[in-house]
Amino acid sequence: MTAAVPQIAELLAPLSWCTVDFISDLHLHASEPATFEAWQNYMQTTPADAVFILGDLFEVWVGDDAMGNAYPGFEDACVKVLAQTGEQVPVFFMHGNRDFLVGQDMMARGNTVLLQDPTVLVFNQQRWLLSHGDALCLDDVDYMRFRKEVRSTKWQQDFLARPLAERQSIAAALRTQSEARKQAGAVYADVDADCARAWLLAADARVLIHGHTHKPAKHDLGNGLGGGLSRIVLSDWDAAAQPPRAEVLRLSASGLQRVTLS
């Protein structure tokens, strides 16, 4: 299965950057305080010169008006962490399938830069293709249809026009359905290799870094033809799991390294 290659943005890293970090799929939620605390500690102590969050930072984001209410809640606490980190190092955010409604108000309050999906990061004289990854899971036909609908301007305008409480109720119901599917052992589609290769060739890059699938690994995309193309999958986070999952993919002049946070 193939699909059209989307427009690819480009970000040129300053020469002063020596190390950059990639994380994704933290699915931050008020009911999971251990993961929030692990992320907060990481953001406050990372030695990286920039942090790239490649989608699904939040379990759900129903609109930027969830922030700044009379009684600051979980969303405000998360944005405060982003803002404080952004005062020290650049923080970049890419929409995921759970938090595609994050808008410019949240970016401004969080001192964070919104990245287009996909984006090429030019760092250390190499081109690294970054994506959340959901748009590459072509075999999940139902999700791809849903994704096209909810990413449309009209759908988002209509949804955001609903009262905040109604949106939160809808999101809670969808989360319950999602958890039920996981418990039932649902099998999710993986990234389409041909599509990933097409993106890399269009981006003039050799490595794709993405999240979404929750299956951290390195995959050879050479298809037996050489060329050195590969994709590297980020880990999801769950600090309450046994063993805990909280991993950073760190890029420096020496290459890529998976860093497990204690």
Residue 183, CB-side half-sphere exposure with 13 Å CA sphere: 6
| AA letter at 214 | H
CB 81 within 8 A of CB 58: no
- Residue 1 covered by a domain: no
CA 258 to chain centre: 16
Alpha helices in the chain (DSSP H): 33-45, 74-86, 104-109, 141-150, 153-160, 164-183, 193-203
213 vs 81: CA distance, rounded Å? 25
In a domain, 4, yes or no: no
Specify the residue for token string 């039932």.
184
Is residue 146 situated within a structural domain? yes
Task: Decide if 24 is inside a domain.
Answer: yes
Range of the domain at 52: 9-260
Is residue 2 assigned to a domain? Answer: no
Residue 85 CB neighbours (<10 A): 21
What pLDDT is stored for residue 206 in this prediction?
A: 96
Give SS3 for 92: strand
CATH number for the domain that contains residue 186? 3.60.21.10
Is-contact 247 173, C-beta < 8 A?
A: no
The answer to whether position 141 is within a domain reads yes
| Per-residue model confidence as pLDDT tens digits over 78-114 | 999 999 999 999 999 999 999 999 999 999 999 999 9
Entry pTM: 0.95
The secondary structure of residue 213, as a DSSP letter, is S
In a domain, 3, yes or no: no
For residue range 205-235, what is the model confidence (pLDDT) as tens digits? 999 999 999 999 999 997 655 568 999 999 9
Query: What's the structural domain count of the chain?
Result: 1
